[in-house]
A = this chain, B = another copy of it.
Amino acid sequence: MIAESAHIHPKARLGKDLNIGEYVVIHENVEIGDGCTIQDHCVLGVKGPRTFEPLVLGPGATIRSHSVLYEHSTIGPKLETGHHTVIRERSVVGENLRLGSYSDVEGDCTIGDFSRFHGYVHIGKGTMIGHFVWVFSFSDAANDPLPPSDLAAPVILGDGSVVCLGSILMPGCELGTGAFVVAGSRPAGKIPPGAVVAGSPGRILFHVSRLMDLDSGLSHPWMTHYRSVYPEHAQPRLDELLEEVMKTRHDYKVSRTRSK
């Protein structure tokens, strides 16, 4: 169902079975896959600096109200956004990204499959984000090492890494596969795979498998117990990712022995 009040450019290419809400604006250079829901007051296909290519939005997306997607980005199937989100130009996004309300992907970003960002997440220009990455609210992936400047040192988030509430990934920070950033931390530089990093400046504490919730007995890596939020075809990839993170457990024992 397409609301009568929606303003859709005649050249926009629309898939089948769309739900398009009231006062939605779809500009010219947009391709929308089948079965997408675009809620009220969204704007798709905003022109940015040096944008030419279309916004290609994969099938099955749910874009919640007041969200803004620029042209010249390619987004895989089943994108899901909160309200008031922004995705800027020249981003390449995989399958089933979830982006919380008020989150902003600044452009020139690469994001893998099944990554999940909560609200108020700011992903700086050029950030490279792997698969199954979690970023919690009020976290920021920075990119300027000498602000303000023309220098760019984008952040890299490895597959399965987790950034907790209110953390700043400093310019050039590289989180290894399955690394875990404690709430309110400010990691910089290379964080090894599976490392837990905390504090400001961020210090490496121990392997992520040592993080446990005492009440439930559940522990990290999160792929051991938190998988039902992903579809069937993602499960084998989670197995591989878990194995990869658990392999790095050894590194921490060795370094502990050496350092004492």
**Given A66-B68, A140-B166, A148-B226, also A86-B83 (CB < 8 A):** yes
**Given A5-B7, A184-B200, also A101-B101 (CB < 8 A):** no
Partner of A149, one of B40, B120, B183, B226: B226
Q: Which residue of B lies closest to A211 (CB)?
A: B146
Q: How far is the CA of A16 from the CA of B153 in the complex (A)?
A: 42
A interface size (C-beta, 8 A): 64
Q: How far is the CA of A183 from the CA of B171 in the complex (A)?
A: 11
Binds B, one of A53-61, A131-139, A236-244: A131-139
- By a CB distance below 8 angstroms, the chain B residues around A145 are 213, 215
A-B contact pairs, 25 of them (CB 8 A): A7-B22, A7-B23, A21-B25, A23-B41, A25-B40, A40-B43, A41-B43, A43-B66, A66-B84, A84-B86, A86-B101, A101-B104, A122-B137, A122-B138, A136-B147, A138-B138, A142-B165, A146-B218, A146-B222, A147-B164, A147-B165, A148-B226, A151-B218, A165-B168, A184-B186
Interface residues of A (CB under 8 A from B): 3, 5, 7, 21-23, 25, 39-41, 43, 46, 64-66, 68, 82-84, 86, 101-102, 104, 116, 119-120, 122, 134, 136-138, 140, 142, 145-151, 153, 162, 164-166, 168, 170, 183-184, 186, 200, 211-213, 215-216, 218-220, 222, 225-226, 228-229
The majority secondary structure among interface residues of chain A is: loop
Q: How far is the CA of A153 from the CA of B134 in the complex (A)?
A: 19
Beyond A102-B102, A149-B218, 14 additional contacts (C-beta under 8 Å) are A21-B25, A41-B41, A46-B64, A66-B66, A84-B86, A120-B122, A145-B215, A146-B211, A147-B222, A148-B226, A148-B229, A149-B226, A151-B213, A166-B168
Q: How far is the CA of A166 from the CA of B149 in the complex (A)?
A: 18
- By a CB distance below 8 angstroms, the chain B residues around A102 are 84, 102, 104, 120
The reply to whether A116 and B146 form a contact with Cβ atoms under 8 Å apart is no
